[in-house]
Chain A
Amino acid sequence: MHNFYIGFMGLAALFSLITGSSAFAGTYNLTIDEMRAGYDRGERLTMAINGQIPGPTLRFTEGEEVTINVTNKMDTDTSLHWHGILLPFTQDGVPGISFPGIKPGETFTYQFKIKQSGTYWYHSHSGLQEQDGVYGPLVITPAKREPFRYDRDYVVMLSDWTDEKPEAILGHLKKNSDYYNYAQRTVGTFFRDVSENGLAATVKDRADWGRMRMTPTDISDVSGYTFLINGKSAAQNWTGLFKPGERVRLRLINGSAMSYFDVRIPGLKMTVVQADGNNVQPVPVDELRIAVAETYDVIVQPEEEKPFTIFAESLDRTGYARATLATKAGMSGEIPALRPRPLLSMADMGVDMAGMGHGDHGAAHKEAVAAPAMDHGAMAGMDHGAMADEESMNMPDMQSGIAPKAAKKGGKVLVYGDLKAMKPYADYRAPDREIEMKLTGNMERYFWSIDGVKFSDAEPIRLKYGERVRFTFVNQTMMSHPMHLHGMWMQLDTGRKKFNPLKHVVNVPPGQTLSVDVPADAMGEWAFHCHLLYHMTTGMMRKVIVEGPVAANVGMRHE
């Protein structure tokens, strides 16, 4: 390991000697310390960067050589990871993979050259510190003109604040994974469903979920959060000013530990121009779902002199984050009602009930259906003859319960298929090989895993520098997983080939399968994990090692 570090740094130094030092450089100083903070219900001891939650917005410029001094004033180790940024792996900030972490009282100096532009963020990669408040926005100004235009520019960073210590949350989950599921179905909802769907359908629905040892209200496993925009609760109402007719760029960042949001601004179309920091062909939408750790840049053009509410409902509908676009401070727009909590359906679980009856379920579903945890054998033995064909088509379980739907009638919701890269990817080609990753979990004991193996027991994934590897995620759980690869882009396969969008996080919905192509263009050791904090912590993570040609590997050892 040491040899590799030295060799790599030596090479980097040589490279900078050859090219000469760049035109400009910037130094940034960040301090991580304990702090008391709270929202609406008193304070607790927590952690913050430079005394604020979120931390300060770092503003870099493409081509800049940045130096970031990070000082740890706490009595526990810490770290900062630059989420979505392309850099030498030794600067990536993941303790145990890229560096040993920052010890109490120490200052670690990060140095790297900015090779990209757009909206990103940064956060601690140590323990559960991200949930405590160690995160902030990162904005990079491009070297060239952007393919869109705006008059105002605001960061809109979403996050989930908890009044509990994150360690206590993890403890509750390990004891009882349904600890935060306040919406368990009861005998009352049973009778409601009977009157809406009929007795046979309701009994069958409950029986199906029982056989899978899961519950359909299980769309997020932690709740009781206060949702924030730029560190302000809904009551505190963060406000961005505009003049009617101006174009306003909103840099949406989901810096939550565990929460997805459905975001809309009633009365305004949002034109999506960037996803995960990369320009996309502009697409006007009424609503979008932002997975944990994703970013979307949208442009809105309010024409009227009145307040507009930025409304971000948590996916589990336990609450919302809210901010306002206003023509003067203190204005407040109407706050819509929370929509009902979506329920997972059998379709979300990859169980194509109608298809099973006719014996023609698709190959993509087959994998998910075969998941041991889902007790496929028992389901296959169910009496499908009892389902009248006509009725079965109208059963609620035939459609996804969790797929986003627009609040506005006939409104457009952003889907991954809408994301088309602005610039075609020059080296687009078929992948050299494919690696399948089953996303797995054990809810009874609350640990999450990949291919049934948690991080601490897993071998690293080895890639060869220059190869192009397709990762296919097969989600065999009932939760969405925002999968995040460090150091390299994932080209999300939407069927647009060279226009497939470049992402650092892809959301894999329950029971679904999706593929990304990864150009292995960054040497070193990288983290690859689910960005739901408690899923990563309990094991849904891998180390990826990008190695050089065989001859160059001599002397490169890993513990």
Chain B
Amino acid sequence: MNPIFLPLAVALSVSVSGLATPARAAAGHGYEFGAPGKPASATRNIEVNLADNYYEPDAISVKQGETVRFVLKNSGEFLHEFRIDTLAAHTEHRKEMAEMMEMGMLTPTGINPEKMNMDHSKMDMPSKAGEPMRHDDPNTVLLAPGESKELVWKFSRAVEIEFACNMPGHYESGMLGRIDFAK
């Protein structure tokens, strides 16, 4: 593909990071701002409550090189996501989430395991990379109503990132949080 014809958001993330979403699969899931952390290396816990449709707290501060254990609880009535990513990658991911809702893999309140594990590459609407579409990125956790989960992440580089829920309409109406890198 000629880079000139890439959508603006993707083009931006390519120039910033060199690792836009479509390129990630090939590169074996690289994230310019860090990587999944080992639970044993986590130096502190940050508790985040996922409500309908917002986070508490909605801003956190981390240090470069720090490994954080996010202790997540969905206290709402709807399915929510906790994903750490760049703004451009969140935007791309929102399209995938909308597709997953359309295909019935996700519903407003949960995951449909049967449809989620189907090989969607054989369907009319294959995912962007033509691969089976799954919701299993290591920077992302999906929580059904009432569920608690953890995500351990090592923040290696100070890049503009957010944690966000990309369920259709949730991010747009403000379900996101700022991640500041403390000096």
Contacts and interface: CB of A to CB of B under 8 A. Distances in A.
Interface in B73-91: 77-78
Interface stretch (B35-43, B131-139, B166-174): B166-174
Contacts of B58: 149
Interface in B27-64: 51-54, 58
Contact of B169 (A145, A247, A282, A301): A282
B54 A283 contact: no
B108 A284 contact: no
Interface in B156-170: 168-170
Contacts of A271: 169, 172-173
A423 B53 CA distance: 12
Contacts of A420: 108
A423 B77 CA distance: 8
B interface: dominant SS? loop
Contacts of A423: 77
A80 B12 CA distance: 54
A147 B108 contact: no
B173 A148 contact: yes
Nearest to A148: B173
A interface: dominant SS? loop
Nearest to B98: A284
B77 A299 contact: no
Contacts, number: 45
A148 B108 contact: no
A149 B174 contact: yes
A424 interface: yes
Nearest to B174: A149
A280 to B, nearest CB: 9
Nearest to A282: B169
B170 to A, nearest CB: 6
B19 to A, nearest CB: 22
A424 B77 CA distance: 9
A150 B174 contact: yes
A147 B54 contact: yes
B54 A145 contact: yes
B94 to A, nearest CB: 9
Contacts of A247: 173-174
Interface in A379-433: 420, 422-424
Contact of B168 (A145, A148, A284): A284
A284 B173 CA distance: 9
Contact of B54 (A149, A281, A284, A299): A149
Interface of A: 145, 147-150, 247, 269, 271, 273, 281-284, 299, 301, 420, 422-424
Given A148-B53, A149-B54, A271-B169, 20 more contacts: A147-B52, A147-B53, A148-B54, A148-B174, A149-B174, A150-B174, A269-B172, A281-B78, A281-B108, A282-B168, A282-B169, A282-B170, A282-B173, A283-B168, A283-B169, A284-B168, A284-B172, A299-B172, A423-B77, A424-B77
18 contacts: A145-B54, A147-B54, A148-B53, A148-B173, A149-B54, A150-B174, A247-B173, A269-B172, A271-B169, A271-B173, A282-B53, A282-B168, A282-B170, A282-B172, A282-B173, A283-B169, A299-B174, A422-B52
